[in-house]
Amino acid sequence: PLSSIDTGESQSGFHKCWTLLLVLLIGVPLLFVLWGWISPDSTLSRRNAQIVQAFRARMKKLENTYQSQDPRLWKRTHTLLEKHLNASHLHLEPAILLFTAGQEAEKALRCLSNEIAEAFAFSQNATTIKIDGEHKAILDSDIVKLEVDNELS
C-alpha cells in the first residue's frame, strides 16, 4: 500500500514540475516581450539623442563657416535631416537632399553639400556617396538610372 501512495505522490509531483517548467518557459519570454513593449528603451532613446546632438554640433560648425548662406537653408536642412534622424524606424533607403545654385556658386555649393552630407553621415557612423550629374548628362537615361541604382545599393 505504501508504494502505490508513493507512486501517486511522485506522479503528482512530476506533473507539478512539468507544469511549473512549462509556465516558466512561456511566462518568462512573455514578460520580456511585454516589458519591452510597455517601457521605452532608454538605451535606444539615448543613442538617438547622441546622434542628433552630434549632427547639430557638426551643422553648427558649418553654419559658422558658411555665414553668408540664407538662414532658411539651415532651417530646412535641420528640419528635414533631424526628422529623418528622429524617426522611430530604421531607414533602409538613403536620405537625399538636392541643392541647386547658379554657375558662379557651383564650387561653394558642391563643398557645402558635401559637408552637410558628411555631417549627417558622421552622426550615424555611416558613409556618403557623391553622384556627379553633370558627367552623366550625356549618357542614356536608362544607363544613368542603372548606374545610380548600383551606386546607391
pTM here is 0.59
Q: Which CATH number does 44-152 carry?
A: 3.40.50.12190
CA distance linking residue 118 with residue 41, whole number of Å: 28
| Ranges of each domain in the chain | 44-152
pLDDT digits (tens, 9 = 90+) for 37-93: 555 556 667 777 888 888 899 999 999 998 888 899 899 888 888 888 877 666 666
Q: Are 80 and 97 a contacting pair, CB within 8 Å?
A: yes
Q: Are 58 and 126 a contacting pair, CB within 8 Å?
A: no
CB atoms within 10 A of CB 19: 10
CB atoms within 10 A of CB 58: 18
Q: Are 40 and 47 a contacting pair, CB within 8 Å?
A: no
